[in-house]
Amino acid sequence: RGPAGRRMAAAAFERRVLRRAAEHHYLRVRLELPDGGARPNATQFKQLMVTALRELHGEVGAALPVDVLTYEEKTLSAILRVISSGLVKLWSALTLLGFYQNRRCAFRVLQTSPFLLALAGNSRELVL
């Protein structure tokens, strides 16, 4: 019973579960090159990811299907699509990559989601 002796209705909760796991995962990543220098174009960026996968996971890792959906050379940021079963391989390879053209570098995974729309906006960058 609630305030004033009225009977409270039970809250109805509905649980929704995806019937099957998402086929792809999407990542928003940024490449950090602290010393300036030449910036990779879209092709070089993709090749850098393949190199990272090959160094950590061998030829099998390099064959992982990864798509660069968007790439901004100005900010060195991209949105990637990978099959869900390869998410951990890609993430670990990018995290452990340390050099680009004999210069120190680091990949930062900013966001990840099984839904592309979730990467459309970042609440951490929201200006009110």
- In the chain, the domains with their CATH numbers are 24-120 (3.30.70.3250)
Question: What pLDDT, on a 0 to 100 scale, did the predictor assign at position 127?
Answer: 66
The residue among 8 and 82 whose pLDDT is bigger is 82
Those residues with Cβ within 8 angstroms of residue 12's Cβ, 6 or more apart along the chain or in another chain: none
Above pLDDT 70, what percent of the chain?
A: 80
Question: What pLDDT, on a 0 to 100 scale, did the predictor assign at position 17?
Answer: 60
Could you tell me where the DSSP H helices lie in the chain? 42-62, 87-96
Question: What pLDDT, on a 0 to 100 scale, did the predictor assign at position 5?
Answer: 60
Mean pLDDT computed over every residue of the chain: 86
Question: What pLDDT, on a 0 to 100 scale, did the predictor assign at position 64?
Answer: 95
pLDDT digits (tens, 9 = 90+) for 57-109: 999 999 999 999 999 999 999 999 999 999 999 999 999 999 998 899 999 99
Is the CB of residue 65 less than 8 Å from the CB of residue 83? yes
Per the structure block, which two tokens stand in for 69? 């959906």
Question: What pLDDT, on a 0 to 100 scale, did the predictor assign at position 40?
Answer: 94
